[in-house]
């Protein structure tokens, strides 16, 4: 059974702001009955101040879908529209003291409904940017569609590469069989064969230092920094998909300080993301690289933030 | 006088604390751990706790590395068959001549199906030749399966070192640690062991519960497919009561591992020395310097094991000859044959395997009981003369009819 937090249970048993909203000027509908999850978010936004004065929801879905919707309305009431647009699915999950990984998509749906409702208020069309497929990686709530898209777009060949791009497979590893199946399928489409025997028997959890080239590898420091920025740029679309971002702050020899922004910062996945960036940087630069969160640069080490997605 | 149980490598008594921990899961907390209602939720939590207790005993880095199975045999079969599925182009397996039938019989079947099985030989003390191992270890090998401790002699194999060597060439390494867990300190996160089998009933948990440890990142294909249990790696509703019992047993094993290696070992040594001092023509098999603390395997020459067991049983002492599975067959055990123990001795090997419940009083009773039993059987043996073996026994008595 799901280990729901007390906060999730509270918002399920006593949901706030339920029902249709008379005079709503921003309505966002997401999901469908066929996926078993559908959510309508109705907002009253003051057109002069852009403040969300009221928010209500109607949800068809599981316990955590209802709790996420309830949490969302509580979070955004009183916010300005621009502020509300920055609310991420992790904010919703954090507000609820975490959601089980299998249920993270409920918070994603909340964020999407919010974006749709605000678009509706502004008279825009909101483009649903992702289709949900079967959940492959439960540890990081990554579905088949997302993995398949990335394997295609970036010509990926191995589970490790998929993990670097999506986090999928970077936890308990029980989804590796599912990831390999997607790789096999897509690689077959492009006329390649997924070579089971060349896949490592055991994925190395710690990145191996690449000894081949000396630090810098013959690049000038400007060239090197440009390469680093290019790698971060290439990962950026993925981070943005999760409502986050990353920024290069400082390069000190083999240590690279990166600031994680938005959903990526402080969430349980930040360290995963950093591991992924580190891996990519090492591949790209051909040298051993240590990526450190930028907070470690200026301040004394701060208390680790509570991990919400236990 | 209560009977004395010295057959703990065959199976052990459940610890009363284990039984106590299990009882609520039959009548009160009988729910399915996957259910939403309150009957199930508590069971799910109890399984989580047990998983952590098992993880702690094995020194596994993550509790998700623990896959619950129905027994040691299932774990062994799952591990080997998984590797063959993961690496379909690799057609070789390395194992040893002295494995449990859970591995050997499977390998024999795979051999019929076209796989090449390399069975590492052992020397007279039951030790492996690591040079032979390294020669065979190539990228054509799908998996190496080598037991941690032998069930008949207690001899330990250098599995940690062997796992390093396998890892270096990218070959998965599995160890049947059914006899070792709880008796030998194990810290899997520091090793390159990919898979390890555990059986509950060898460490005072019930029969019919096992574990397959699977290192995070090691490629794996399930044997059972079905529900989402064990993260899809072993489908089937969890044997909740037994899992809880195994968790408790692991916690108790952690507490007693020192005791096993001091007190239990001292009793075993006392038993062995007591018998060797009084009985002529007997010797310890296996590697006495490198073995489980609870096991003594003694070969009594010129007599047959079953006779010894029956007379011991009459005296209220339970032991076994070779492995429990080979009794009932007239062949001496494959382990004794592999060590090249002569037939005149191999047939008379007796395994005494102790547990933390044995007492010195019991051990002294056994030391007193064994010499007259051996003497009585030797009196009947055509290979034994007035007060020693006949000269050249195999020639002295060579029946024409076999
Ligand atoms: C070394 C070894 N492996 C495997 C097994 C089989 O375990 P289970 O009885 O749980 O299937 C045994 C027990 O007889 C054993 O001693
Ligand atoms: S399910 Fe993907 S890493 Fe655990």
ipTM of the assembly?
A: 0.77
Binary contact (A1, B44; C-beta < 8 A): yes
- Check which CATH number belongs to the domain holding B323 and give it: 3.90.1150.10
Residue A205: per-residue pLDDT: 43
Residue A129: per-residue pLDDT: 62
Same domain (yes/no): A198, A216 = no
Same domain (yes/no): A182, A84 = no
Cβ atoms of A281 and A207 closer than 8 Å:
no
Same domain (yes/no): B327, B365 = yes
Binary contact (A173, B218; C-beta < 8 A): yes
Mean pLDDT, range B343-358, rounded to an integer: 93
Same domain (yes/no): B25, B112 = yes
The C-alpha atoms of residue B189 and residue B58 are separated, in whole angstroms, by 9
Residue A162: per-residue pLDDT: 92
Same domain (yes/no): A301, A217 = yes
Residue B247 above 90 pLDDT?
A: yes
Indicate the number of domains in chain B: 2
Same domain (yes/no): A77, A157 = no
Residue B201: per-residue pLDDT: 98
Whether A200 contacts chain B with CB within 8 A: yes
**Residue scoring higher pLDDT (B160 or A253):** B160
B378 located within any domain: yes
Domain-terminating residue out of A91, A121, A151? A121
Per-residue pLDDT reduced to its tens digit, B287-343:
999 999 999 999 999 888 888 998 999 999 999 985 444 455 567 789 999 999 988
Q: How confident is the model at residue A215 (pLDDT cuts 50, 70, 90)?
A: very low
Same domain (yes/no): A190, A117 = no
Question: Which range has the worst mean pLDDT, A157-166, B176-185, B356-365?
Answer: A157-166
Residue B305: per-residue pLDDT: 87
- Check which CATH number belongs to the domain holding A291 and give it: 3.30.300.130
- Catalytic-residue membership of A106: yes
A231 located within any domain: yes
Same domain (yes/no): B234, B358 = no
Domain-terminating residue out of A55, A90, A121? A121
Q: Whose CA is nearest to atom 5 of ligand 1?
A: B72
Binary contact (A1, B33; C-beta < 8 A): yes
Same domain (yes/no): A107, A177 = no
Same domain (yes/no): B285, B249 = no
Q: How confident is the model at residue A305 (pLDDT cuts 50, 70, 90)?
A: very low
Same domain (yes/no): B123, B52 = yes
Same domain (yes/no): B50, B183 = yes
The C-alpha atoms of residue A69 and residue A95 are separated, in whole angstroms, by 11
B118 located within any domain: yes
pLDDT over 90 percentage in chain A = 37
The nearest CA of chain A is from the CA of B154 a distance in Å of 30
**Residue scoring higher pLDDT (A149 or A282):** A149
Average pLDDT, chain A: 80
Q: Is A37 helix (H, G, I), strand (E, B) or coil?
A: strand
Residues of B taking part in catalysis = 325
Domain containing A272 equals 207-310
A128 located within any domain: no
Same domain (yes/no): B143, B223 = yes
Residue A300 above 60 pLDDT?
A: no
Same domain (yes/no): A174, A249 = no
B402 located within any domain: no
Same domain (yes/no): A198, A235 = no
- Check which CATH number belongs to the domain holding A25 and give it: 3.90.1010.10
Distances from the Cα of B322 to the Cαs of A13, B72, B285, B360, B395, in angstroms?
62, 18, 11, 24, 26
Query: How many CB atoms are located within 10 Å of the residue A128 CB?
Result: 10
Same domain (yes/no): A273, A297 = yes
Alpha helices in B87-176 (DSSP H): 101-112, 130-136, 159-168
Domain-terminating residue out of B253, B285, B320? B253
Same domain (yes/no): A60, A155 = no
Per-residue pLDDT reduced to its tens digit, B91-105:
999 999 999 999 999
**Residue scoring higher pLDDT (B351 or A253):** B351
Residue A203 above 60 pLDDT?
A: no
The C-alpha atoms of residue A5 and residue B278 are separated, in whole angstroms, by 67
For residue A137 and ligand 2, the question of a CB distance below 6 A is answered with yes
Same domain (yes/no): B197, B67 = yes
A39 located within any domain: yes
Q: How confident is the model at residue B204 (pLDDT cuts 50, 70, 90)?
A: very high
Same domain (yes/no): B352, B230 = no
Same domain (yes/no): A245, A154 = no
For residue A203 and ligand 2, the question of a CB distance below 6 A is answered with no
Residue A304: per-residue pLDDT: 39
Indicate the number of domains in chain A: 3
Residue B324: per-residue pLDDT: 41
A1 located within any domain: no
Residue A168 alpha carbon, nearest atom of ligand 2? 2
Domain containing B339 equals 4-8+257-396
A190 located within any domain: yes
For residue A269 and ligand 2, the question of a CB distance below 6 A is answered with no
Cβ atoms of A43 and A27 closer than 8 Å:
yes
Q: Give B-chain residues touching A137 at CB under 8 angstroms.
A: none
Mean pLDDT, range B169-189, rounded to an integer: 97
Which of A174, A200, A205 is opposite residue B170, by nearest beta carbon? A200
A92 located within any domain: yes
- Distance (Å) from CA B102 to ligand 1 centroid: 7
Question: Which range has the worst mean pLDDT, A29-33, B89-93, B281-285, B367-371?
Answer: A29-33
User: Searching chain B, which residue's CA lies closest to the CA of residue A202?
Assistant: B218
Residue A266 above 60 pLDDT?
A: no
Binary contact (B40, A1; C-beta < 8 A): yes
Domain-terminating residue out of A150, A183, A204? A204
Question: Which range has the worst mean pLDDT, A145-154, A232-241, B92-101, B351-360?
Answer: A232-241
User: Searching chain B, which residue's CA lies closest to the CA of residue A205?
Assistant: B217
Same domain (yes/no): B39, B168 = yes
Whether A199 contacts chain B with CB within 8 A: yes
Domain-terminating residue out of B205, B235, B253? B253
Average pLDDT, chain B: 94
A68 located within any domain: yes
Domain-terminating residue out of B206, B221, B253? B253
Same domain (yes/no): A211, A305 = yes
A126 located within any domain: no
Residue A270: per-residue pLDDT: 54
Measured from the alpha carbon of residue B11, the closest ligand is 1
The set of protein residues with a Cβ atom below 6 angstroms from ligand 1 is: B 71-73, 100, 102, 147, 151, 176, 178-179, 199, 210
Same domain (yes/no): B91, B239 = yes
Residue A209 above 60 pLDDT?
A: no
User: Searching chain A, which residue's CA lies closest to the CA of residue B83?
Assistant: A201
Whether A1 contacts chain B with CB within 8 A: yes
Q: How confident is the model at residue A218 (pLDDT cuts 50, 70, 90)?
A: low
């Amino acid at each position: 059974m799901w280990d729901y937090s007390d906060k999730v249970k509270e918002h399920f048993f006593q949901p706030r702001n339920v029902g249709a909203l008379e005079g709503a000027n921003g309505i966002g509908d997401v999901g469908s009955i066929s996926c078993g999850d559908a959510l309508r978010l109705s907002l009253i936004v003051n057109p002069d101040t852009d403040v969300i004065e009221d928010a209500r929801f109607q949800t068809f879905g599981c316990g955590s879908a209802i709790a996420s919707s309830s949490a969302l309305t509580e979070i955004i009431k009183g916010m300005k529209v621009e502020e509300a647009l920055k609310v991420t699915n992790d904010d919703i999950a954090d507000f609820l003291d975490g959601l089980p990984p299998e249920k993270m998509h409920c918070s994603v749906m909340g964020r999407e409904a919010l974006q749709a409702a605000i678009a509706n208020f502004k008279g825009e069309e909101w483009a649903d940017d992702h289709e949900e497929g079967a959940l492959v990686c439960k540890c990081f709530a990554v579905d088949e569609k997302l993995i398949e898209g990335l394997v295609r777009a970036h010509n990926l060949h191995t589970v490790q590469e998929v993990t670097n791009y999506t986090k999928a497979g970077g936890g308990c590893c029980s989804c590796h069989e599912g990831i390999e199946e997607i790789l096999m399928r897509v690689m077959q489409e492009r006329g390649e064969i997924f070579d089971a025997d060349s896949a490592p028997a055991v994925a190395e959890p710690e990145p191996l230092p690449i000894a081949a080239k000396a630090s810098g590898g013959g690049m000038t420091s400007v060239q090197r920094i440009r390469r680093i920025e290019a790698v971060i740029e290439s990962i950026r679309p993925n981070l943005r998909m999760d409502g986050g971002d990353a920024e290069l702050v400082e390069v000190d020899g083999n240590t690279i300080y990166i600031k994680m922004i938005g959903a990526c910062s402080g969430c349980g996945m930040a360290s995963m993301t950093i591991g992924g960036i580190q891996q990519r940087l090492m591949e790209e630069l051909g040298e051993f690289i240590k990526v450190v969160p930028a907070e470690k640069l200026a301040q004394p080490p701060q208390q680790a933030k509570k991990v919400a997605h236990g | 006088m209560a009977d004395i149980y010295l057959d703990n490598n065959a199976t052990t008594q459940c610890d009363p604390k284990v039984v106590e921990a299990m009882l609520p899961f039959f009548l009160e907390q009988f729910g399915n751990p996957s259910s939403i209602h309150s009957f199930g939720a508590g069971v799910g939590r109890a399984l989580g706790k047990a998983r952590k207790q098992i993880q702690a005993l094995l020194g596994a880095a993550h509790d998700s590395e623990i896959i619950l199975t129905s027994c040691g045999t299932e774990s062994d079969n799952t591990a080997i068959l998984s590797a063959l599925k993961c690496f379909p182009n690799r057609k070789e397996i390395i194992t040893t001549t002295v494995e449990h039938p859970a591995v050997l019989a499977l390998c024999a079947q795979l051999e019929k199906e076209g796989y090449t099985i390399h069975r590492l030989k052992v020397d007279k003390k039951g030790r492996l030749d690591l040079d032979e191992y390294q020669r065979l270890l190539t990228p054509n090998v799908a998996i190496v399966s080598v037991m941690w401790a032998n069930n008949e002699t207690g001899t330990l194999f250098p599995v940690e070192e062997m796992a390093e060597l396998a890892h270096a060439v990218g070959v998965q390494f599995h160890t049947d640690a059914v006899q070792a867990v709880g008796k030998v300190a194990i810290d899997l996160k520091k090793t390159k062991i990919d898979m390890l089998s555990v059986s509950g009933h060898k460490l005072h948990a019930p029969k019919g519960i096992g574990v397959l440890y699977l290192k995070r990142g090691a490629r794996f294909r399930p044997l059972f497919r079905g529900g989402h249990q064990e993260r899809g790696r072993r489908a089937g509703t969890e044997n909740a009561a037994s899992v809880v019992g195994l968790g408790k047993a692991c916690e108790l094993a952690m507490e007693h591992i020192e005791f096993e290696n001091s007190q239990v070992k001292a009793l075993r040594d006392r038993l062995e020395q007591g018998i060797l001092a009084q009985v002529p023509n007997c010797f310890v098999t296996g590697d006495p310097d490198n073995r489980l603390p609870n096991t003594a395997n003694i070969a009594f020459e010129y007599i047959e094991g079953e006779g010894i067991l029956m007379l011991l049983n009459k005296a209220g002492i339970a032991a076994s000859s070779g492995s429990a599975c080979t009794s009932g067959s007239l062949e001496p055990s494959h382990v004794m044959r592999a060590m090249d123990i002569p037939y005149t001795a191999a047939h008379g090997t007796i395994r005494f395997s102790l547990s933390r419940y044995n007492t010195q009083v019991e051990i002294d009773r056994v030391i007193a009981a064994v010499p007259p039993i051996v003497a009585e059987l030797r009196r009947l043996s055509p290979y034994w003369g007035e007060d020693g073996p006949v000269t050249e026994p195999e020639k002295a008595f060579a029946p024409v009819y076999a």
